[in-house]
Structure 1
Amino acid sequence: MRKIAAAALLLAIPAIAAAASPEDPVRRMMDVATARLDEQSSGGDYFDTPRLGRDYSGRFVEAYTAASKYPAYDDGSSNPFGYDVIANGQDGCPLEDVTYREGQSDGAKKTVVVRFKLWQCIPKDEQGYDSISEVRFDVVTENGQPVIDDIHRMRDGKWDSLVAEMAEIVKFGEQNASTPQ
């Protein structure tokens, strides 16, 4: 009986080790951010179809799909953002000193905090060179997998919500669509 129990435990260890972490979808998104801000790589899109289906919650995908009806630019893309949602601006340097830590948990929602240096390519004596940026990801579990439910950046001394921003994009887009030109 002990041999059977020991064998069962040995079989369970790989399954436990392979269990998905709340950091997994966040790391994949940060890999895209790192590649996008590296001048030698296009980096891809945070919200391409495979990523939307794998790394984001149903709520997030619904908000993004609605907002993508109102692209930021008339360039044929459906991107509703006129800036990089991780760098929180239109430019930046390759990311340096990227760290991950678990933040506060609220029941089923876990927060993953990512900190990085965004301005290491500017002269050392310029303001912001050694500043640390922080992005917070709300991660929930859907269909047994961790997925990003919201992304928060510091703006004007407050944490914002990308999901709320997408709702504002839709609201503004709908108002402009119904206003005679």
Structure 2
Amino acid sequence: MKKIAVLFAGLVAALSALPGPSLAADATVPVEEIMKDTQKNWAGDDSDWIDIFGEAMLSRLYSHDFGDKYKAAVQNPAADEDGISPFDYDVIVNGQDACPLQDLSIDGGQAANGATEVTVKFKAATCMEGTPDKDALTTVRFEVIEEDGKAVIDDILIQGKEGQGPISLKEAMVQIAKGE
């Protein structure tokens, strides 16, 4: 019996060292950090706004391609007046206003085609009385890849208007950089 336990422990250790499936476990790490900061941003206290696309985060939590597209979009004269972001809304909550995020869940998917989709769900409008969909769940999908030996966010997919499919943030940044 002891031999079987030792063999089983060795098998588990060997399988956990294999590349590929490990990305699925690690893929949630950059997403969790972004969501932690987004939760702080909408917590309702007077803390400073955390720029989830600040230079330090951009180079650490996002892919090189995502970072390049973001930097190109920021250069567009149509970028937000504050010069900080090419977006005039919070891309995670998909709006300019939100409440403290409620019922947050982060689920890592299976790695496929070199990427892992991490799905985040939360309620962002629970404090907005009179809003018909105040208890609706917002879903954001993060495409996470392995780059330079670590999991990084390669794209963020937000829900489009009713009847539209998801909107790729990378595609939106390309359009912004072109002035569209």
Name the residue aligned to 2:3: none
1:113 aligns with 2:114: no
CA-CA distance at 1:37 after TM superposition: 1.1
1:170 aligns with 2:177: yes
TM-score (ref. length: structure 2) = 0.81
Aligned pair partner of 1:89 in 70, 92, 95 = 95
Q: Where do 5+ consecutive residues of structure 1 fail to align? A: 174-181
Q: Go from structure 1 to structure 2 and tell me whether the alpha carbon gap of 1:159 and 1:104 turns closer, same or farther (over 3 Å shift).
A: farther
CA-CA distance at 1:104 after TM superposition: 5.3
CA-CA distance at 1:85 after TM superposition: 0.5
1:154 aligns with 2:175: no
The 4+ residue runs of structure 1 with deviation greater than 6 A are none
1:73 aligns with 2:80: yes
Distance 1:147 1:47 in 2: 13
Aligned pair partner of 1:122 in 116, 121, 128 = 128
What RMSD over aligned residues (CA atoms) do the two structures have, in Å?
2.5
TM-score (ref. length: structure 1) = 0.80
Q: Which has the higher contact order (CA 8 A, sep 6+)?
A: 2
Percent of aligned pairs sharing the same letter: 35
| Alignment coverage as a number of residue pairs | 162
- Post-superposition Cα deviations, 1:112-165, rounded to whole Å, max 9, x if no partner, equal 000001111123x63112100000000000111000000001102311100000
1:127-142 equivalences in 2 (<5 Å): 127-142=132-147
Name the residue aligned to 1:179: none
Name the residue aligned to 1:38: 43
Q: Where do 5+ consecutive residues of structure 2 fail to align? A: 1-5
Name the residue aligned to 1:25: 30
CA-CA distance at 1:73 after TM superposition: 2.7
Distance 1:103 1:152 in 2: 15
Distance 1:148 1:45 in 2: 15
